[in-house]
Structure 1
Amino acid sequence: MTQQYWTIISIFIGGAIGTLLRYFINLQTVTLLFPIGTLFENLLGSLLLGTLTGWVAVKVIPSFLKVGLGVGFCGGFTTMSTLAADSAFLAGQASLFQSGMYLITSLIGGVLFALLGMLLGHRLATKQKVGERA
């Protein structure tokens, strides 16, 4: 198989796993404070994608694995469309304040978690690289 097919397959598998995990988390959090499940998924997904990005900045991994985890898994696990729908729902059913706080927490938190993940991934990859030389 060519590299392109491996890339497509890895995105498909990663996306399926990420989407199923997101669905499972939504089922577990549906009775909790709305929309805590989506917030958790998006923040964790930002952290994971940031960690992957920091890792591959130091380590070389196969391209199909990088896109399978990044585009596939993290793309399937996180959800911009649900963030938008939840924000609109909160604005209409709860309050503009709650909707605004949800948006701010999601956006700023997502960026901060991604940065934290990048630092973590870089540190882990660098630490392992130093350990390999010893």
Structure 2
Amino acid sequence: MNWLLVIAGAVVGAPLRYLTDRAVQSRHDSVFPWGTFLVNVSGCLILGLITGAAAQGAASSHLQLLLGTGLCGALTTYSTFSYETLRLAETGAGLYAVANIAGSVTAGLGAAFVGVSVAQGVWS
């Protein structure tokens, strides 16, 4: 049963990631990978909310599997982040590569902390 929850979340997360990335990138005339940045930070926020809710007893293990593992696992993408950062560096956009690394790590961790804090505030 658990694997079905992960699959169900991934069935939503993977196309959502692709469609969000394409929609965001089509609106920006920049080499910076805004689409990947957005889905990764959004996934960190969602995972923070779920983790905080679970810590407060407000999210079941089934919800964690569905949204945390399935949805967020398919929505976020470390491999694309790595590939796009490498491509930026290889094409001479080193400053963008460094900004992508620093911004993604900082915003992702920040979003996760905000998610946990919001969930704790709501369910404590």
**Aligned residue number for residue 50 of structure 1:** 48
Q: How does 1:19-38 map onto structure 2 within 5 Å?
A: 19-31=14-26, 32=28, 33=30, 34-38=32-36
**What letter matches 1:66 in structure 2?**
Q
Question: 1:16 and 1:108 mapped to 2: Cα distance?
Answer: 28
- Percent identical: 28
> Normalising to structure 2: TM-score of the pair?
0.91
Deviations 1:92-112 (A, max 9, x none): 124211100111000111111
The answer for unaligned runs of 5 or more in structure 1 is 1-5, 127-134
**What letter matches 1:63 in structure 2?**
S
**Aligned residue number for residue 37 of structure 2:** 39
| CA positional deviation for 1:87 | 0.1
Contact 2:6–2:69 (Cα < 8 Å) also in 1: yes
Contact 2:58–2:123 (Cα < 8 Å) also in 1: no
Deviations 1:33-90 (A, max 9, x none): 3310000000111011001101111125432221111110011110000000110111
Contact 1:7–1:65 (Cα < 8 Å) also in 2: no
Contact 2:52–2:119 (Cα < 8 Å) also in 1: yes
| CA positional deviation for 1:30 | 2.6
Is 1:7 the counterpart of 2:2 in the alignment? yes
**1:118 pairs with one of 113, 116, 119:** 116
1:18/1:9 CA distance change after superposition, 3 Å: same
**What letter matches 1:113 in structure 2?**
A
Question: 2:60 and 2:109 mapped to 1: Cα distance?
Answer: 26
**Aligned residue number for residue 89 of structure 2:** 91
The number of equivalent residue pairs is 121
The answer for unaligned runs of 5 or more in structure 2 is none
> Normalising to structure 1: TM-score of the pair?
0.85
**Aligned residue number for residue 68 of structure 1:** 66
- Structure with higher Rg: it is 1
**What letter matches 1:11 in structure 2?**
V
Structure 1 vs Structure 2 CA RMSD: 1.2
